Amino acid sequence: MESTRVDRWLWAVRLAKTRSDAAAACRGGHVRVNDRPAKPATTVVPGDRVRARIGTNTRVVEVVRVIEKRVGAPEAAKCLIDHTPKPPPEAVVPVAHRERGAGRPTKRDRRVLDEFRSRWG
């Protein structure tokens, strides 16, 4: 087996939960094979680079081995090389903190909080 459909491969290597999810991502334009938009029937061969956005995750993987049937997770991991870039670190913004049970902020407290919020965001 030297090639298979991209929707079937995405499902078999566990990037998509169901095959219909993989096909819907292809139809929606969320899957690209070698930087070209892919339909569900687009074939993939070893060496192809697949970019897939399924749900909120975007993954960039390289096809190492073509499989058509869903296999266990350790076996599926051997069928691809993950080239997904690391997400940028999120900026840590300090959070204004009031003691529990302190009641409503006074006018002075509110002004201090407003000043704090205007500086950080």
Q: Look at the block and give the residue holding tokens 């190492």.
A: 64
Q: What is the DSSP letter of 13?
A: T
What is the model's pTM? 0.72
Q: What is the DSSP letter of 60?
A: E
Tokens of 87: 């997400």
Alpha-helical segments (H) within the chain: 6-12, 19-27, 73-77, 107-120
The model's pLDDT over 34-78, given as tens digits with 9 standing for 90+, comes to: 999 999 999 999 999 999 998 888 999 999 999 989 999 999 999
Assess whether pLDDT exceeds 80 at residue 121. Answer: no
List % helix, strand, coil for the chain (3-state, nearest 5).
30, 20, 50
The model's pLDDT over 49-61, given as tens digits with 9 standing for 90+, comes to: 999 998 888 999 9
Cα-based distances in Å from 114 to 89, 95, 110, 121: 27, 12, 6, 10
